[in-house]
Amino acid sequence: MTDDTTAATVSGEQAKIEQALTDRVVASFGDTQNPRLRQLLDALTRHLHAFVREVRLTEEEWNAAIRFLTETGHLTDDKRQEFILLSDVFGLSMQTVNVNNKTHGDATEATVFGPFFLEDAPEIPIGGDIAGSAHGQPCWVDGTVSDTDGNPVPGARIEVWEADDEGFYDVQYADGRVAGRAHLFADDEGRYAFWGITPTPYPIPHDGPVGKLLAAVGRSPLRCAHLHFMVTAPNLRTLVTHIFVEGDPQLVAGDSVFGVKDSLIKPFHTQLAGTPTPDGRVLSGDWARTTFDIVLAPVS
Ligand code: BEZ
Ligand code: FE
């Protein structure tokens, strides 16, 4: 298969030489025993070669790309995953989420996982508080978990995590605190509720090569304000998602990792100080509340 863009910019003889190389490399994977691995390598080769030929990549640009990837690798360790961040800002993470979480009736849409989930977050009862020492405006979150036939999902496990109002997750502080995260279980009717904090926009880590890339193209590292959820229940598809805050100006400016889906934007209603809370908690300042009804798809 000859690439059309290339055919338009180089002589027929040159295009033949380039295409022959692509074909030889594809053929070199021809004996791969694992058919899926063969498919991946075949398509990857074709797309990579098509890219180089389409943009007529210079050797200087090839070297710059290698330097960039090397820097990305050097910054990556068990705490900082710069390669995932790179995938995130290219929308690759989000596209992989889309491919693997096909729409199913009114099932809640999925979005990116992000790097800040922790196993073993504390358990809270329904109505408990995930904030711990994380600062921010208190926010009551409630809703239900059901399947796509409308049946409640009692006992669904709900993991929630979020940044504080300075834009940092607990794991970004050096003091080992656990704050702004917890898990709870839906009740017999699939209902859940907890206190969190009203999400605010925050930047993805941008002090490395990915940050330099964003700066070079005039893109902001900010994520739209969000609260992370992961919901699991037997025989239902695990849902990794967020809710976003309706009216957040960053929604107009855009999310640095392309994680926003309209169905996940929820009204967060501000309640003036003194407004009675759903559970009789006494608060001295304003607070907010939102509802998120979660629908889990069947395992496909
Ligand atoms: C997050 O939402 O926590 C996140 C997602 C992608 C990259 C960085 C952070
Ligand atoms: Fe996040």
Number of domains in the chain: 2
Q: Which pLDDT score, from 0 to 100, does residue 87 have? A: 97
Q: How confident is the model at residue 53 (pLDDT cuts 50, 70, 90)?
A: very high
Ligand 1 atom having least distance to the Cα of 116: 3
User: Burial level of 201, CB count in 10 A (0-12/13-18/19+)?
Assistant: buried
pLDDT at residue 8 tops 70: no
How close is the Cα of 187 to the center of ligand 1, in Å?
29
Q: Which pLDDT score, from 0 to 100, does residue 44 have? A: 98
- 81 within a domain of the structure (yes/no): no
Token pair, residue 218, equals 């005039």
Q: Are residues 29 and 117 in the same domain?
A: no
The C-alpha atoms of residue 166 and residue 203 are separated, in whole angstroms, by 10
How close is the Cα of 227 to the center of ligand 2, in Å?
7
- 224 within a domain of the structure (yes/no): yes
pLDDT digits (tens, 9 = 90+) for 92-117: 999 999 999 999 999 999 999 999 99
DSSP string, 110-131: P----S---TTPPB--TT-BS-
- Contact in structure between 203 and 223 (CB atoms under 8 Å): yes
Q: How confident is the model at residue 15 (pLDDT cuts 50, 70, 90)?
A: very high
Q: Which pLDDT score, from 0 to 100, does residue 300 have? A: 76
- 135 within a domain of the structure (yes/no): yes
Residue of the CA atom closest to atom 9 of ligand 1: 114
Q: Are residues 33 and 170 in the same domain?
A: no
Ligand 1 atom having least distance to the Cα of 114: 5
pLDDT at residue 150 tops 70: yes
Residue of 162, 223, 228 with the most ligand 1 atoms within 8 Å of its CB, for mutation: 223
Cα atoms found within 13 Å of the Cα of residue 91, Cβ hemisphere only: 6
The C-alpha atoms of residue 288 and residue 125 are separated, in whole angstroms, by 20
How close is the Cα of 117 to the center of ligand 1, in Å?
10
- 30 within a domain of the structure (yes/no): yes
Domain that holds residue 151: 86-296
How close is the Cα of 54 to the center of ligand 2, in Å?
36
CA dist list (Å): 246 to 2, 51, 264? 47, 38, 9
Write down the mean pLDDT value for the chain: 95
Q: Which pLDDT score, from 0 to 100, does residue 5 have? A: 60
Q: Are residues 26 and 120 in the same domain?
A: no
Q: Are residues 93 and 237 in the same domain?
A: yes
Q: How confident is the model at residue 1 (pLDDT cuts 50, 70, 90)?
A: very low
pLDDT at residue 84 tops 70: yes
Q: Are residues 50 and 154 in the same domain?
A: no
- 271 within a domain of the structure (yes/no): yes
Ligand 1 atom having least distance to the Cα of 228: 2
- 75 within a domain of the structure (yes/no): no
Q: Are residues 110 and 247 in the same domain?
A: yes
- 78 within a domain of the structure (yes/no): no
Q: Are residues 128 and 184 in the same domain?
A: yes
pLDDT at residue 198 tops 50: yes
Q: Are residues 46 and 133 in the same domain?
A: no
Token pair, residue 203, equals 């930047």
Q: Which pLDDT score, from 0 to 100, does residue 9 have? A: 85
Q: Are residues 158 and 282 in the same domain?
A: yes
Q: Ligand 1 — pocket residues by CB below 6 A?
A: 85, 88, 112, 114-116, 204, 223, 257
**Which ligand has an atom closest to residue 90 CA?**
1
Q: Are residues 41 and 175 in the same domain?
A: no
pLDDT at residue 3 tops 70: no
pTM, entire model: 0.93
Ligand 1 atom having least distance to the Cα of 205: 8
Q: Which pLDDT score, from 0 to 100, does residue 36 have? A: 98
CA dist list (Å): 63 to 223, 241, 267? 31, 37, 48
How close is the Cα of 82 to the center of ligand 1, in Å?
11
Q: Are residues 52 and 92 in the same domain?
A: no
- 277 within a domain of the structure (yes/no): yes
Percentage of the chain modeled with pLDDT above 70: 97
pLDDT at residue 2 tops 90: no
pLDDT digits (tens, 9 = 90+) for 227-256: 999 999 999 999 999 999 999 999 999 999
Return the sign of the alpha-carbon dihedral for residues 190, 119, 234, 299: positive
Q: Are residues 151 and 42 in the same domain?
A: no
Q: Which pLDDT score, from 0 to 100, does residue 6 have? A: 60
